């Protein structure tokens, strides 16, 4: 059965909000006091204890050991009897997750009826056909030993060539040497993917000379590189790496400054879908709102990309039943199971989530977090599954292998080709990434408290605005951002990468 949501085009009002009539719980839209009475669809509920805003109240009783439903799916099992009106949280609900599960291929009809119309943005069309949303010069490095060198070259270049392109940015990292196996491959793939990104009108790659991640091997593995817009050198073999770097950047700027924005349909957008610091409202406001945008982009022929595989655990079937074919189903199962084995092989429970901030915000189990998180993928068919470091090749909803860590997964989204990232949050973060990243607050209090971080307030759907209205406004912002409008993170100079390390360091 599909992930259930109530009529998201209607207003969300009252003191509590329920999603599915089968659910045992509803979300408190304000702090609830013991002894007060609240209403849910005509049902009067006596609040039995203090319940913080964003936390759950029982609207149906659950016996000890019984599954507790939210979004129409189990979010855990009751560890004690739960009465109507009780606060439902970590004190009386535990996860049902244990290990690798078996999945049956049972495709369900998809329900993507989003209509976009003739929407376009102003982007930079590259030689390989991809369209960028920025025209920047990126300074990358093969190894952490020259990370600061890359940073200093970018700083000097920004001062020297200001105003000629959208900026010169370095993306340093600490890896590339003393790495083996997958770790070395991951570093090489991520740098290669960034080097081919359409938001880079030119790329300079610095090597050291003695690192495992050799510059020659990296360049040979990089897909779709435009030799005209690429410069590289090994710093051990030049007299002055800073002057050599500035000369290379100047050549790239001279080429990129000739580029001009041109209209492109939103079918050319690759939109990364990410959440970080979720709260009890994330699955009610921000994530389903981003799901609407994902559906609009997919319906128009674009590519929304969902990642954070550990935040699929417990909600796998919501995605698996939307697999466009048996092959896609099998690939998605393999990614999910491999990630679970990664936890198990490292003697870690697969449910070691949600974070302390998530729990404080009202999320009780990983299943609850996952059921809220997968809503960012909307309702479109799943058409492609990518392993970490791979790049998008098809149009439509894509699942990308990456961990839940904000910086690691957002870097993976960028390297996969995302030209805009939609990042939902209930707690807030200043982080930004190579692709322009829009921060979408799940609640208006966060948006008001951190206006320098937050680009869009999804909490408006709790205050009378419909989901359709909010989705229209957010799509307008996505188009404006893709056309060059700065995000808050860009204004704040928040631009960084992080690479997934999972193995041995020499």
76: domain CATH number is: 2.30.130.110
Q: How far apart are CA 352 and CA 136, in angstroms?
A: 39
Flag whether 497 is in a domain. Answer: no
Q: Of 225, 258, 291, which residue is a domain's last?
A: 258
Q: Give the mean pLDDT of 311-328.
A: 93
- Pairing, β 262-265 against β 456-457: unpaired
Predicted confidence band at 266 (pLDDT cuts at 50, 70, 90)? Answer: very high
Same domain, 242 and 296: no
Q: State the pLDDT at residue 1.
A: 47
Residues with Cβ < 8 Å from 281, sequence gap 6 or more?
A: 27, 54, 361, 362, 426, 442, 443, 459, 462
Burial readout 425-453 (b: 16 or more C-beta within 10 A, e: otherwise)? bbbbbebbbbbbbbbbbbbbebbeebeeb
Instruction: Specify the DSSP class assigned to residue 130.
Output: -
Same domain, 254 and 268: no
Same domain, 212 and 235: yes
Is pLDDT of 260 > 70? Answer: yes
Same domain, 47 and 189: no
DSSP, collapsed to helix, strand or coil, labels residue 74 as strand
Same domain, 239 and 195: yes
Same domain, 484 and 378: yes
pLDDT tens for each residue of 42-59? 899 999 999 999 999 999
Is pLDDT of 109 > 90? Answer: no
Same domain, 163 and 285: no
Flag whether 21 is in a domain. Answer: yes
Beta-ladder partners of 206: 141, 233
Same domain, 478 and 375: yes
Number of domains in the chain: 3
Same domain, 409 and 466: yes
DSSP, collapsed to helix, strand or coil, labels residue 458 as helix
Flag whether 478 is in a domain. Answer: yes
Alpha-carbon separation of residue 480 from 120, 200, 327 (angstroms)? 10, 19, 37
Which region holds residue 504: left if phi is over 0, alpha if psi is between -120 and 50, else beta? Answer: beta
Q: Of 258, 290, 319, which residue is a domain's last?
A: 258
Is pLDDT of 428 > 90? Answer: yes
Question: Which of these, 86, 205, 188, 84, lies nearest to 139 by C-alpha position?
Answer: 205
Same domain, 231 and 338: no
Q: State the pLDDT at residue 13.
A: 58
For residues 295 and 117, which has the higher predicted lDDT (pLDDT)?
Answer: 295
Same domain, 236 and 273: no
Is pLDDT of 132 > 90? Answer: yes
Q: State the pLDDT at residue 376.
A: 96
Instruction: Specify the DSSP class assigned to residue 485.
Output: P
Is pLDDT of 79 > 90? Answer: yes
Flag whether 10 is in a domain. Answer: no
Q: State the pLDDT at residue 348.
A: 85
Q: Give the mean pLDDT of 262-281.
A: 95
Flag whether 377 is in a domain. Answer: yes
For residues 159 and 104, which has the higher predicted lDDT (pLDDT)?
Answer: 159
Question: Which of these, 231, 244, 212, 399, lies nearest to 318 by C-alpha position?
Answer: 399
Flag whether 301 is in a domain. Answer: yes
Same domain, 373 and 389: yes
Q: State the pLDDT at residue 5.
A: 47
Q: Of 94, 128, 158, which residue is a domain's last?
A: 94
The domain in which residue 47 lies consists of 16-94
Q: State the pLDDT at residue 350.
A: 81
Flag whether 307 is in a domain. Answer: yes
Domain CATH number, residue 239: 3.40.50
Helix axes 286-299, 467-482, angle to 10 degrees: 60
Long-range pairs, 222-227, Cβ under 8 A, ≥24: 222/191, 222/192, 222/193, 222/195, 222/196, 223/192, 223/193, 223/196, 223/391, 224/128, 224/130, 224/196, 225/195, 225/196, 226/126, 226/127, 226/128
DSSP, collapsed to helix, strand or coil, labels residue 57 as strand
Flag whether 124 is in a domain. Answer: no
Question: Which of these, 371, 363, 377, 364, lies nearest to 278 by C-alpha position?
Answer: 363
DSSP, collapsed to helix, strand or coil, labels residue 477 as helix
pTM, entire model: 0.93
Q: DSSP states of 393-418 as a string?
A: -SSSEEEE---S-HHHHHHHHHHHT-
């Amino acid at each position: 059965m599909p992930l259930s949501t109530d009529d998201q085009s209607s207003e969300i009002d009252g003191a509590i909000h329920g999603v599915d009539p089968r659910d045992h719980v509803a979300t408190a839209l304000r702090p609830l006091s013991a002894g007060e009475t609240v209403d849910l669809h005509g049902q009067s509920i006596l609040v039995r204890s203090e319940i913080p805003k964003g936390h759950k109240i029982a609207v149906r009783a659950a016996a000890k050991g019984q599954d507790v439903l939210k979004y129409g799916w189990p979010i855990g099992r009751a560890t004690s009897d739960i009465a109507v009106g009780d606060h439902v949280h970590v004190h009386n609900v535990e996860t049902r997750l244990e290990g690798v599960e078996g999945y049956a291929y049972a495709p369900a009809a998809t329900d993507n009826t989003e209509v976009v119309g003739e929407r376009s943005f102003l982007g930079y069309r590259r030689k390989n056909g991809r369209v960028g949303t920025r025209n920047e010069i990126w300074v990358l490095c093969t190894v952490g030993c020259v990370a600061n060198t890359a940073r200093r070259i970018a700083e000097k270049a920004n001062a020297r060539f200001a105003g000629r392109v959208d900026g010169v940015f370095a993306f340093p990292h600490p890896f590339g040497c003393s790495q083996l196996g997958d770790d070395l491959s991951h570093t090489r793939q991520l740098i290669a993917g960034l080097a081919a990104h359409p938001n880079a009108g030119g790329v300079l790659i610095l090597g050291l000379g003695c690192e495992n991640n050799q510059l020659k091997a990296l360049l040979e593995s990089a897909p779709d590189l435009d030799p005209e817009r690429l410069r590289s050198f090994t710093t051990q073999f030049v007299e002055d790496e800073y002057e050599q770097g500035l000369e290379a950047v100047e050549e790239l700027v001279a080429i990129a400054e000739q580029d001009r924005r041109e209209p492109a349909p939103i079918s050319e957008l690759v939109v990364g879908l990410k959440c970080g610091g979720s709260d009890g409202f994330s699955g009610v406001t921000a994530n389903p709102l981003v799901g609407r945008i994902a559906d609009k982009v997919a319906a128009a022929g674009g590519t929304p990309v969902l990642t954070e595989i550990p935040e699929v655990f417990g909600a796998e079937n919501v995605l698996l039943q939307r697999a466009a074919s048996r092959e896609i189903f099998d690939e998605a199962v393999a990614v999910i199971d491999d990630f679970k084995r990664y936890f198990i092989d490292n003697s870690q429970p697969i449910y070691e989530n949600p974070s302390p901030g998530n729990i404080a915000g009202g999320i009780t189990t990983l299943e609850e977090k996952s059921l809220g998180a997968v809503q960012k993928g909307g309702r479109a068919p799943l058409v492609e599954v990518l392993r970490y470091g791979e790049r998008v090749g098809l149009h439509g909803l894509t699942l990308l292998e990456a961990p839940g860590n904000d910086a690691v997964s957002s870097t993976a989204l960028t390297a996969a080709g995302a030209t805009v990232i939609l990042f939902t949050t209930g707690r807030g973060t200043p982080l930004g990434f190579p692709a322009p990243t829009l921060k979408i607050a799940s609640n208006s209090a966060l948006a008001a408290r951190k206006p320098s971080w937050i680009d869009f307030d999804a909490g408006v759907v709790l205050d009378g605005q419909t989901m359709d209205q909010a989705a229209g406004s957010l799509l307008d912002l996505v188009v404006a951002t893709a056309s060059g409008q700065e995000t808050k993170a860009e204004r704040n100079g928040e631009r960084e990468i992080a690479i997934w390390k999972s193995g041995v360091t020499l």
